[in-house]
Amino acid sequence: MDRTEERQAEFMAHIERGGKVEASDWMPDEYRTAMIRFMQMHALSELMGALPEKEWVPRAPTLARKLSLMAKVQDEVGHAQLILRVAEDLAAPLGKGREELVGELFTGEAKFHNVFHMPAPTWADAGIIGWLVDGAAVISQAALLGSSYAPYARVLQRVCAEEGFHIQHGESICLALAEGTPAQRQMLQEALERWWEALLLFFGPAETNSASATILLKYRFRTRTNEELRQKFLTKYVPRIQALGLAIPDPALRYDETAGRWIYTPPDWSKLKAIARNQGPLSQYRLGLRRLSYEQGRWVRDALMAPARQAV
């Protein structure tokens, strides 16, 4: 074996023993590239994820909800910042920084999570997102806390801690609507029906032999499969949703005691393909908002960077 192969073998042995990787460690190019891409997608998803709920900030129906939703959306942008910084440190040897990592969102090279391509047409959608979409995200993120890439695992602890408030905030909105007027209850029921498929799609397809999924498990970025996470979500949230008197729009949904798992009508997985091409229901609209503000803000970022240039 030559030196590189030897180092790669040592690296894999280290990973398989549960060892951690830091930014300045030697690592195979494949690991570095895949980890950057994974974190970039997570960060850009947080950034794009701010937009559906942000639509409701100016229309939030009480001063308290206005504040709470602002804080929640602020956290999402904050999470994007935390994760981007970790990605930037790992990408620095490749000459990539903040501008490049964010710019790839607009070229289409970097994707954002499928769930944020969906519409949020009513106030109740803001509640469902805060409760159930963040609920799904917490389950997903918990499986990343054991990630081999230590700087990412560390920053996720902070992210997960803040997500606790998000779910409480979302729950609070949904509880108020569920206990409210008939119109409010109906708004909530309709929002649930609108989001149910998206919540199943959130975790990705059950069996996937995709190259990227294989790498995720090989390098221990993530320690659970898509289906395991989806099952956890159903176990946690189906009883709670039903307790509020809401009807889940899947007549086949039930827990199979023998099999020890939830049986559900499979969502339309083909929708994920359109979303991956940024052709989901609101993909282009939201990308358009972000791209416009990004271009509009370029002169501001140039001014921010100016001292660095002036010093040189």
Partner 1 sequence: MAEPRLSQEQRQFRVYEIFVQKDHSSPHVWVGSVDAGSPEDALVLARESFLRREPAVSLWAVEQTAIHRTDYADRDFFAQETDKRYRTLAGYSKANAERWRRYKRALLDLEKDFVRD
Partner 2 sequence: MDRPTLIALLYQLADDELVVGHRDSEWLGLGPHIEEDVAFCSIAQDEVGHASLFYNLLADLGEGRADDLAFLRPAARRRNAVLLERPNGPGSYLDRPEFDWGYTIARRLAYDLFDQIRLEVLAGSSHVPLAQAAARIRREERYHLIHHTTWFRRLATGTEESRLRLAAGVARTWPDLGGLFALGEVVPGPVFPATAEELVDRWTAALEPLFAEVGFDWPGRPDPGGPPGPDGRLGQHTPDLDGLLETMGEVYRTAPGAAW
Q: Which residues bind partner 2 (CB under 8 A)?
A: 47, 50-51, 54-67, 70-71, 73-74, 77-78, 80-81, 84, 98, 102, 123, 173, 176-177, 179-181, 183-184, 289-290, 292-293, 296-304, 306-307
Pick from 48, 60, 45: which is nearest to 123 by CA? 60
Q: Give the C-alpha distances (Å, rounded to integers) separating 5 from 11, 28, 157.
A: 10, 10, 34
**Binding partner selected for residue 24 from partner 2, partner 1, none, CB under the kind-specific 5 to 8 Å limit:** partner 1
**Helices 63-91 and 29-54: angle between axes, nearest 10 degrees:** 160
How is residue 21 annotated by DSSP?
B
User: If you write DSSP's letter for every residue of 165-187 in order, what string do you get?
Assistant: HHHHHHHHHHHHHHTS-HHHHHH
Residue of 205, 194, 186, 225 whose CA lies nearest to 272 = 205
Indicate which of partner 2, partner 1, none lies near residue 289 (CB less than 5 to 8 Å, by partner kind).
Answer: partner 2
Q: Which residues of 50-76 are buried (b: 16+ CB within 10 A; e: fewer)?
A: bbbbbbbbeebeeeebeebbeebbebb
CB of 73 to partner 2, least distance (A): 6
CB of 164 to partner 2, least distance (A): 19
> Do 39 and 87 touch, CB atoms closer than 8 A?
yes
For residue 58, the partner it binds in partner 2, partner 1, none, with Cβ less than 5 to 8 A by kind, is partner 2
Q: Which does 290 bind (CB under 5 to 8 A by kind): partner 1, partner 2, none?
A: partner 2
Based on CB atoms, which residue is closest to partner 2, 65 or 111?
65
Shortest Å, Cβ 247 to partner 1: 37
Q: Residue 200 in contact with residue 230, Cβ under 8 Å?
A: yes
Does 25 engage in binding with partner 1 (CB under 8 A)? yes
At 217, list the tokens. 């498990």
- Residue 93: count of CB within 10 angstroms of its CB: 10
Q: Are 244 and 174 in contact (CB under 8 A)?
A: yes
Structure tokens given for 45 = 């998803």
Contact, 64 vs 77, CB < 8 A?
A: no
Query: CB of 150 within 8 A of CB of 217?
Result: no
Between 104 and 250, CB nearer to partner 2: 104
Least distance between partner 2 and beta carbon 52 (Å) = 10
Among 18, 58, 182, 307, binds partner 1 (CB under 8 A): 307
Q: Does 55 bind partner 1 (CB under 8 A)?
A: no
**Window 74-113: residues binding partner 1 (CB under 8 A):** 74, 78, 81-82, 85, 88-89, 97-99
Mark the segment that binds partner 1 (CB under 8 A) among 131-139, 173-181, 216-224, 303-311: 303-311
245 Ramachandran zone, left/alpha/beta (phi>0; psi -120 to 50): left
Query: Among partner 1, partner 2, none, what does residue 97 contact (CB within 5–8 Å per kind)?
Result: partner 1
Does 302 bind partner 1 (CB under 8 A)? Our answer is yes
Give the range of 32-40, 196-204, 258-266, 301-309 binding partner 1 by CB under 8 A.
301-309
Pick one of partner 1, partner 2, none as the site partner of residue 293 (Cβ within 5 to 8 A by kind): partner 2
Query: Which C-beta is closer to partner 2: that of 124 or that of 156?
Result: 124
Give the residues lining the site for partner 1 (CB under 8 A): 22, 24-26, 71, 74, 78, 81-82, 85, 88-89, 97-99, 155, 158, 301-309
